[in-house]
Structure 1
Amino acid sequence: MKQRFTTQRRSQLVQMVVNEGSISITDAAKRLDVSIETVRKDIIHLDAQGMIKKVRGGAMRIKELDIEHPVSEKHSVNIDKKLAISKRALDFIPDGASIVLDAGSTPMILAELLAKKSGYTIFTNSAPALHALLESDNDIFVLGGHLRKSSGAMLGAWTNAMLENIHPDIAIIGTDACTPTGPMVTPYEEVTVKRNIFSVSQKTILLADSTKFEKTAAFLVCDWDDIDVLVTDSNVSQDVLEEYQNRVMITVADRDLT
């Protein structure tokens, strides 16, 4: 439990830095309601993880903050890698499985692949994924809620209430950024939905192309312990892969790790 609080506090600290560009130790301690020494240790830890840069008296942003772009824009970025990731993700989905499909550009590509198959039960909170699946021979359930137009994600209390009543075999989730602490997203509304998605599922697969390792975002979704498989591509450096392999099982879609 103590580790969970530490992770959440550090996530808040990263959020402050990426949103504001920099922060002083004194200001951070006051806003987080902890001691100056605790913040100092957090900054040293996060600096070592490459999340923020330690400077005299505080910390500053060093990574690109992921700003939410329309899903149509995201779909075209790194498209070949996202397709390879989606194809590899299919290897983890047994025939006839029940799947909850999260919003995001890579899960949307996976939806397009699933649309060509049959026999699956698919729950989704993604309007673009729903559109891709409309004419498929799969059983589709919509996890409705408030529509976030930029991403096509359906979020909020209704979505979370529906998630409480399902127990799918596989969760497929996306992310805005991959950090040593865990996957992160910028819209806060997505955090609870994603957490509920993997909490009701037997297995969670995170789809993240290499660009997600080059940025950070505002909110921590979970620890890597909560993810069963991370599927990415070969543009992620070997050093990064080795670092993350200590935290989560990794499959490189377009390259065999062995």
Structure 2
Amino acid sequence: MYQEERIQMILKYLGEHKKISVEEICNLCNVSRDTARRDLVKLEEKGSILRTRGGALLPTITREIKSYKDRLYTDSKEKKAIGKLAASLIKNDDKIIMDTATTVQACAEFLQVDSCTVITNSINQADILSNKPGVDIHLLGGQLNQEQRFLYGPSVISMLSNYCVDKTFVGCCGVTEKGVMVAFQEDGFVMKKMIEQADQVILLVDSSKFGKKGFFKFADLSQIDIIITGQLPNKTLMDAFNKYEINVMLAK
């Protein structure tokens, strides 16, 4: 079992039980105590846990993350403009990945092609696309985050590794010179794999996310090919985009 898979299992256990011991990790993942400790060190470096003597706890973090339904109506005008422009980049017979972001949902709503294949872990995207003739939908199976409407876990990451696509469309909760971030690490692990499987990575981001930090970094700026937004960021961030030759497209 790879470390990334063990980390997902540990995080899932912590989500249910709030704490975990080294012994419980050994039994859960069938690994040695040394391996369990290395996994805890990795999680501590990411800021995902608080290590204790003999185990770990979930950190107490105050995060005001709106539900998926609430986020749909935040800056909806800009999101729709971004989604419409993003949809125009999808051509007949493209094979694409769509993540769970509400801005990416706007792209799904505007999608108009005769044929394409879409891989997603979003039950909302799958539902919207199911009404569009010619769209072949592959819904990735895993554990459901009911409030945020996405599927995650080792099975989702494993399935993604079998797909090679033309384009991946992702959203985020923050973009800085240090990279692109999301609010949920379980979603972030999936998005890392989504990016790896694509020839072209397209980030859909409303202007309010520029300069904001998120809980989990899923991509470096060097991994992004195109950014679609409604307004340019400040000079510092724009210089960073130029440094990595990111094509910034403005949606009107």
TM-score by length of 2: 0.71
Aligned to 1:132: 128
- Answer whether contact 1:69 1:150 (CA < 8 A) is retained: no
1:19-52 Cα offsets, whole Å, 9 max, x none, are 99xxxxxxxxxxxxxxxxxxxxxxxxxxxxxxxx
Q: Relative to structure 1, is the Cα distance of residues 12 and 252 closer, same or farther in structure 2, using a 3 angstrom cutoff?
A: farther
Amino acid at match of 2:104: P
Is the contact made by 1:232 and 1:250 (CA closer than 8 Å) also made in structure 2? Answer: no
Report the CA distance shift for 1:236/1:146 in structure 2 as closer, same or farther (over 3 A): same
Identity value in percent: 24
Partner Cα distance (2:116, 2:241) in 1: 31
Question: How has the CA–CA distance of structure 1 residues 240 and 139 changed in structure 2, closer, same or farther, with 3 Å as cutoff?
Answer: same
1:153-175 deviation line (CA, Å, top 9, x unaligned): 11111111110111111111111
Q: How does 1:93-172 map to 2 (within 5 A)?
A: 93-114=90-111, 116-137=112-133, 138-172=135-169
Indicate if the aligned counterparts of 2:90 and 2:113 stay in contact, CA closer than 8 A. Answer: no
Question: Aligned AA for 2:243?
Answer: N
**Alignment-mate amino acid for residue 87 of structure 1:** K
The equivalent of 2:184 in structure 1 is 187
Partner of 2:54: none
For residues 203-245 of structure 1, the C-alpha deviation after alignment (integer angstroms, 9 at most, x for no partner) is: 1111111111142111111211111111111163455434432
Structure 1 spans left out of the alignment, 5+ residues = 1-8, 21-64
**What is the alpha-carbon distance in structure 2 between the residues aligned to residue 215 and residue 66 of structure 1?**
14
CA contact (8 A) 2:174 2:209 kept: yes
Distance 1:111 1:157, change over 3 A: same
What is aligned with 1:84?
Answer: 81
Question: Given the alignment of the two structures, is residue 212 of structure 1 paired with residue 206 of structure 2, yes or no?
Answer: no
Which whole-Å deviations, capped at 9, do the CAs of 1:40-74 have from their partners, x for residues lacking one?
A: xxxxxxxxxxxxxxxxxxxxxxxxx8632211111
In the alignment, the residues of structure 2 paired with residue 223 and residue 79 of structure 1 have an alpha-carbon distance, to the nearest angstrom, of 26
For 1:73-98, what per-residue CA distance to the aligned partner results, in whole angstroms no more than 9, with x for missing partners?
Answer: 11111111111111221243222201
Asked if 1 retains the 8 angstrom alpha-carbon contact of 2:176 and 2:237, the reply is no
* Residue 232 of structure 2 is aligned to residue 232 of structure 1: no
- Distance in 2 of aligned mates of 1:235 and 1:222: 20
Given that 1:234 and 1:252 are in contact with CA atoms closer than 8 Å, whether structure 2 keeps it comes out as no
- Matching residue within 170, 186, 191 for 1:173: 170
Which residue is equivalent to 1:246? Answer: 243
Q: Distance in 1 between matches of 2:245 and 2:80?
A: 22
Partners of 1:140 and 1:179 lie apart in 2 by: 33
What is the letter of the counterpart of residue 119 of structure 2? Answer: F
Deviations 1:155-202 (A, max 9, x none): 111111110111111111111111111001121111221111111111
TM-score with structure 1 setting the length: 0.69
Determine the structure 2 residue equivalent to 1:33.
Answer: none
State the SS of the aligned residue for 1:84.
helix
Cα distance in 2 for residues equivalent to 1:81 and 1:235 = 13
How many residues matched?
198
Change (3 A) 1:154 1:234: same
Residues of 1 paired with 2:45 and 2:243: CA distance?
24
